[in-house]
């Protein structure tokens, strides 16, 4: 019996870890909140029954793993998750004879702000609870966060960064393509706060609501006094109600009715003891502080009938199913559609037109399907993209199955495609931001990449566009003209072929002696014969040129360009000539990883994206990292070099 429970626990750990990573790192959902909570509770129950906690269990994790290129900062005090309940009776039991504060649990991104000498000197995301990402420059653009305060002593506070519904709607209104719109304020906020460009953060109107003082300030007796003091210092604090066991139910009722009138998303409430000394005396578990608990809303579930499944191609090429059902009233609003997210969830629900389904609002906000009562299971998966008509593909990423459009030149993906085409490592066209590209697409100035080289015909119209003008137009035209002279590897990379980075493009171009025609006609077998090009890359490359629309576009485009032939002179005594490298992690001796890659290639080495038996060296300054590349290198006995070791090698 215990063996069966252990097998189920392993399965749950894998499922929940993937779902948490997708939601917290990639801002996408592979299962509904309701499903996640149910599986989480099941895992927690099994851990209690067996007395065993498996490695990697989400019940022991308190945040996302850091994978971005933002600087990493270790928190002075570890940030823990909160235990949770959906029962008011548990809130009463938690309070006992103590007084508490009940406040919104805001659905955004937790930030730790540090002030010294009255100035904001640091802002760090929660991260994994121990190490977060440093986002100080972005925090300085938050709409309501004081940059200076009249408190000269060191002060550390925690708050939740959010984007209001009004600002969320305004940002989405500026996006013409329905499938390019952001799904919810939380995802938009997460991406905005962790931007590498503070100018983008500033445009998103991010706000911060303080909810606790970690260090500094007077030695107040209560949490309420702390919050009031922060208010007086200029911080916007989270709304709260002072409660006891006798009136906490009434306070929960107040918040549940008030949520529809709030300007922000909330995924529940937080109850914490008001007496600070009592709170401090309780300590904490490995994951939870003992002085606070989260209350999650009970979902209002309504039965209805599924009438259709719409398929929407997003700007990333994913074709997402959306359930259309007979309108129902939930939490005071009429609901008639809900995202099904991906094929895995569609198949798990066994949906069919006419099925009786139950629906709810996750966190009283986002419509979701709770259950399929009839499970007829007869939804047909589209074989062609609803936007461009190209063949669709079903892709399996571990346990998540998705439907994608095979054509990276699909109209739904054009904003993303043009944005990539113009980047520095691609065609290097300056002055063409995503916002400008979007304006051109809306006006039908851009059909495919070739039309970039004919924008001059719209000179009068472009000059009159907001944010442009004669000077910007001239600068853009000069940059476009300059891009006509391009290395063929950069051109191949610019096409945006799935899995084909600049390093891979260089390998392919070198193999075919920069012969574009030969590359366009290459079969998968010939491509896989290239050292550093695996079967997945070969399949994607060959598939791209198998589409007549792509071939035609490239043939027209090459008439606009002049391909530079780059001849790399490799020193005969180079110690890394023909050696294959993989580069991962942060670098310090080079400006970035691309500069390090260029150095390797200038000495005759090759750089690929993944570790395999053909890899000679992995460069990673953190040789003890638990990353998948480090693990693979150690399994295969491949040397892991720091930058210093690499520099010694080439010298």
Query: Are the C-beta atoms of 330 and 339 separated by less than 8 Å?
Result: no
Give me the pLDDT at residue 227, please: 95
**What's the pLDDT tens digit per position in 565-593?**
665 544 446 788 878 888 888 777 777 77
333: how many CB neighbours lie within 10 A of its CB? 12
Give me the pLDDT at residue 368, please: 87
- Ligand-binding annotation for 509, yes or no, is no
Mean pLDDT of 534-546: 86
Query: Are the C-beta atoms of 136 and 122 separated by less than 8 Å?
Result: yes
Give me the pLDDT at residue 180, please: 53
Residue with tokens 């294959």: 580
Query: Are the C-beta atoms of 341 and 27 separated by less than 8 Å?
Result: no
Mean pLDDT of 408-436: 84
Give me the pLDDT at residue 3, please: 60
Give me the pLDDT at residue 334, please: 84
Give me the pLDDT at residue 448, please: 86
- Of the two residues 542 and 62, the one the predictor is more confident about is 542
Give me the pLDDT at residue 175, please: 62
- Ligand-binding annotation for 410, yes or no, is yes
- For residue 215, pLDDT beyond 60: yes
Give me the pLDDT at residue 441, please: 84
Give me the pLDDT at residue 218, please: 92
Give me the pLDDT at residue 569, please: 44
- For residue 275, pLDDT beyond 90: yes
Give me the pLDDT at residue 114, please: 94
Give me the pLDDT at residue 1, please: 56
- For residue 66, pLDDT beyond 50: no
Give me the pLDDT at residue 178, please: 43
Tell me how far apart the alpha carbons of residues 178 and 337 are, in angstroms, rounded to a whole number: 14
Give the containing element (helix H, strand E) for 110.
Answer: strand 109-116
Tell me how far apart the alpha carbons of residues 217 and 519 are, in angstroms, rounded to a whole number: 66
- Ligand-binding annotation for 113, yes or no, is no
**What's the pLDDT tens digit per position in 351-400?**
999 999 999 887 656 788 989 999 999 999 999 998 888 889 898 876 67
Give the containing element (helix H, strand E) for 134.
Answer: none
As given in the structure block, the two tokens for residue 372 are 């399929």
- For residue 438, pLDDT beyond 90: no
Give me the pLDDT at residue 62, please: 55
**What's the pLDDT tens digit per position in 136-192?**
989 999 988 988 888 889 999 999 999 998 888 888 776 644 445 677 788 888 888
Residue 55 — pLDDT band, cuts 50, 70, 90?
low
Q: What's the CA dihedral at 12, 14, 17, 18 to 10 degrees?
A: -120
Give me the pLDDT at residue 567, please: 52
- For residue 624, pLDDT beyond 80: no
Query: Are the C-beta atoms of 149 and 155 separated by less than 8 Å?
Result: yes
Mean pLDDT of 403-429: 84
- Ligand-binding annotation for 189, yes or no, is no
Greatest Cα-to-Cα distance within the chain, rounded to the nearest angstrom: 83
- Ligand-binding annotation for 636, yes or no, is no
Q: Which of 152-166, 439-453, 490-504, 560-574 shows the lowest mean pLDDT across its residues?
A: 560-574
Residue 608 — pLDDT band, cuts 50, 70, 90?
confident
Share the mean pLDDT of the chain. 85
For the chain, report the end-to-end CA distance as a whole number of angstroms: 61
- For residue 436, pLDDT beyond 60: yes
Q: What is the DSSP string of 427-454?
A: T--TT--HHHHHHHHHTT--SSGGGGGG
Q: Active-site residues: which are they?
A: 105
Give me the pLDDT at residue 332, please: 66
Give me the pLDDT at residue 200, please: 79
Tell me how far apart the alpha carbons of residues 38 and 25 are, in angstroms, rounded to a whole number: 21
pLDDT above 90: percentage of residues in the chain? 34
Nearest to 455 by CA among 469, 476, 471, 438: 476
Give me the pLDDT at residue 57, please: 75
As given in the structure block, the two tokens for residue 329 are 């009233």
- Of the two residues 180 and 112, the one the predictor is more confident about is 112
Give me the pLDDT at residue 60, please: 67
- For residue 553, pLDDT beyond 60: yes
**What's the pLDDT tens digit per position in 636-646?**
889 988 888 88
Give me the pLDDT at residue 67, please: 46
**What's the pLDDT tens digit per position in 228-247?**
999 998 899 999 999 999 99
Query: pTM here?
Result: 0.53
Give me the pLDDT at residue 176, please: 46
**What's the pLDDT tens digit per position in 12-48?**
888 887 787 776 655 567 777 777 888 888 888 888 8
Give me the pLDDT at residue 529, please: 84
**What's the pLDDT tens digit per position in 86-109?**
899 999 999 999 999 999 999 899
Residues ≥6 apart with Cβ < 8 Å to 589? 596, 643, 644, 647
> Phi and psi at residue 381, in whole multiples of 5°?
-85, 125
Give me the pLDDT at residue 566, please: 60
**What's the pLDDT tens digit per position in 189-212?**
888 888 777 877 888 889 999 999
Give the containing element (helix H, strand E) for 316.
Answer: none
Residues ≥6 apart with Cβ < 8 Å to 40? 16, 58, 59
């Amino acid at each position: 019996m215990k063996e069966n429970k252990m097998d189920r626990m392993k399965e749950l750990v894998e499922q929940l870890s993937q779902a948490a990573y997708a939601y917290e790192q990639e801002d996408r959902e592979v299962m509904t909140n309701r499903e996640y909570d149910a599986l989480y509770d099941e895992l927690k129950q099994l851990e209690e029954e067996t007395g065993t906690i498996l490695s990697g269990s989400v019940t022991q994790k308190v945040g996302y793993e850091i994978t971005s290129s933002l600087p990493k900062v270790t928190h002075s005090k570890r940030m823990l998750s909160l235990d949770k309940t959906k029962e008011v009776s548990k809130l009463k039991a938690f309070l006992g004879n103590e007084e508490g504060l009940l406040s919104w649990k805001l659905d955004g991104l937790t930030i730790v702000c540090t002030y010294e000498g009255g100035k904001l000197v640091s802002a760090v995301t929660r991260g994994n609870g121990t190490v977060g990402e440093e986002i100080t420059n972005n925090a300085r653009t938050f709409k309501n966060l004081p940059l200076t305060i009249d408190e000269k002593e060191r002060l550390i506070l925690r708050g939740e960064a959010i984007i209001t519904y009004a600002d969320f709607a305004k940002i989405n209104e500026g996006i013409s393509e329905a499938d390019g719109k952001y799904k919810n304020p939380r995802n938009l906020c997460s991406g905005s706060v962790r931007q590498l460009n503070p100018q983008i953060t500033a445009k998103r109107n991010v706000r911060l609501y303080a909810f606790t003082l970690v260090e500094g300030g007077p030695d107040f007796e209560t949490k309420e006094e702390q919050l009031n003091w922060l208010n007086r210092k200029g911080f916007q604090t989270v709304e709260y109600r002072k409660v006891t066991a006798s009136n906490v139910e009434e306070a929960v009722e107040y918040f549940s009715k008030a949520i529809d009138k709030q300007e922000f998303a909330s995924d529940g409430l937080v109850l914490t003891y008001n007496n600070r000394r009592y709170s401090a005396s309780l300590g904490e578990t490995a994951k939870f502080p003992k002085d606070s608990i989260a209350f999650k809303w009970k979902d209002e579930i309504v039965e209805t009938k599924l009438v259709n499944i719409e398929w929407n191609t997003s700007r990333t090429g994913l074709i997402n199913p959306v359930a259309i059902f007979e309108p129902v009233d939930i939490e005071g609003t009429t609901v008639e559609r809900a995202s099904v997210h991906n094929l895995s969830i569609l198949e798990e629900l066994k949906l069919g037109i006419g099925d009786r389904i139950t629906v709810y609002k996750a966190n009283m906000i986002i419509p979701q399907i709770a259950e399929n009562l009839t499970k007829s299971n007869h939804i047909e998966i589209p074989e062609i993209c609803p936007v461009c008509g190209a063949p669709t593909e079903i892709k399996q990423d571990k346990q998540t199955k998705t439907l994608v459009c095979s054509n990276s030149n699909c109209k739904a993906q054009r904003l993303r495609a043009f944005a990539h085409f113009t980047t520095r490592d691609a065609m290097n066209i300056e002055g063409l931001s995503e916002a400008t590209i979007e304006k051109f697409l809306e006006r039908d100035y851009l059909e495919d990449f070739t039309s970039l080289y004919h924008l001059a015909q719209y000179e009068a119209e472009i000059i009159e566009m907001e944010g442009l003008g004669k000077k910007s137009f001239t600068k853009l035209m000069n940059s476009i003209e300059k891009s006509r002279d391009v290395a063929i590897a950069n051109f191949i990379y610019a096409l945006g072929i799935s899995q084909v980075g600049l390093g891979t493009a260089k390998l392919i171009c070198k193999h075919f002696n920069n012969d574009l025609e030969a590359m366009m006609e290459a079969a998968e077998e010939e491509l896989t014969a290239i050292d550093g090009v695996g079967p997945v890359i070969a399949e994607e490359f060959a598939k791209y040129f198998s589409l007549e629309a792509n071939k035609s576009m490239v043939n027209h485009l090459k008439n606009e360009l002049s391909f530079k032939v780059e001849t790399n002179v490799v020193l005969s005594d180079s110690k890394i000539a023909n050696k294959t490298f993989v580069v991962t992690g942060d670098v310090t001796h080079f400006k970035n990883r691309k500069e390090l890659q260029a150095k390797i290639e200038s000495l005759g080495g090759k750089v690929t994206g993944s570790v395999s038996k053909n890899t000679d060296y992995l460069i990673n300054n953190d040789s003890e990292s638990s990353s998948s590349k480090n693990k693979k290198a150690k399994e295969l006995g491949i040397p892991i070099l720091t930058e210093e070791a690499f520099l010694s090698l080439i010298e």
